[in-house]
Amino acid sequence: MATFSVVLGDPESGQAYQLEAEGQDANRFMGKSIGDDVDGSALGLDGYTLEITGGSDETGRPMHAGVAGSNLKEVLMRETETGYNQQRDGERRRITVRGREVADDVSQINVTVAEAGSAPVADLLGDDEDAE
């Protein structure tokens, strides 16, 4: 069974939440690509729709939207693309990245709220910072 660490970004509050998806909930992410929508009930967010924005594997290689499938590929990067920051003008490098599809070897998935539900994310996830 796949287990993912899911980083949920809430654009309304600007907060990020780190959650775990295991078992059947993790299977809802399998086979999806960057830009695809996932039902929020997989993370306990009923009524929410989440968009996959990226991720990385166990070694830290980022997922790249320009690479089909879930395989590793060396891509010639320039400027400030995913996983590469240019050190001087005109510099380019080959960087090994993972494809855009979520597979078993992906350890972290980044998602953002595409459509919000009726209750705020903090209330649904039990964020008790406001109570103190």
Note the pLDDT tens digit of each residue in 75-100.
999 888 777 888 899 999 999 999 99
CB 70 within 8 A of CB 51: no
Amino acid at residue number 94: R
What pTM was estimated for this model as a whole?
Answer: 0.85
Can you give the residue ranges of every domain in the chain? 3-125
Give the H/E segment covering residue 52.
Answer: strand 49-57
pLDDT in tens, 16-54: 999 998 888 888 899 999 999 999 888 888 889 999 999
